[in-house]
Amino acid sequence: MNGRGATDSVGEYARDDVTTNSAESSFAILKRGLYGVFRHVSENHLQRYANEFDFRWNTRAKLGFNDVERTAVVLKGIDGKRLTYRRTDTQEQLASVCYRK
């Protein structure tokens, strides 16, 4: 491994202030969430779940974030974006029937 990273495969678990514990802890939180909270996870959406737990890890209380600050970070992330839903054929047919004059 290049840089300052530690290499588990050669029995090195820490180098200066870099340890493998952070990655293992982050992965453990993801695993606990997938097994405990989100019981069925589609492979199509796995990256979204990973992103959510990555956000939780990076904004945890140990790093100095509280609920208000975490919420502010989330709200900054949605600025300028809008949520749209794609209509299905059935919804379009229903809408045309409901709004006929």
Instruction: Tell me if 2 is assigned to some domain.
Output: no
What confidence tens digit (pLDDT) does each residue in 48-94 have? 888 888 898 889 898 899 999 999 999 998 888 877 776 666 666 66
Instruction: Tell me if 1 is assigned to some domain.
Output: no
Can you give the residue range of the structural domain that contains 40?
A: 8-98
Instruction: Tell me if 41 is assigned to some domain.
Output: yes
User: How far, CA to CA in Å, does 36 sit from each of 32, 65, 67, 88?
Assistant: 6, 24, 22, 33
What confidence tens digit (pLDDT) does each residue in 18-51 have? 677 777 888 888 888 888 888 788 888 889 888 8
Task: Return the pLDDT at 2.
Answer: 47
Number of structural domains in the chain: 1
Structure tokens at 67: 């609920």
Instruction: Tell me if 57 is assigned to some domain.
Output: yes
How far apart CA 44 and CA 48 sit, in angstroms, is 9
pTM summary value:
0.57
Tell me the percentage of the chain whose pLDDT exceeds 90: 12
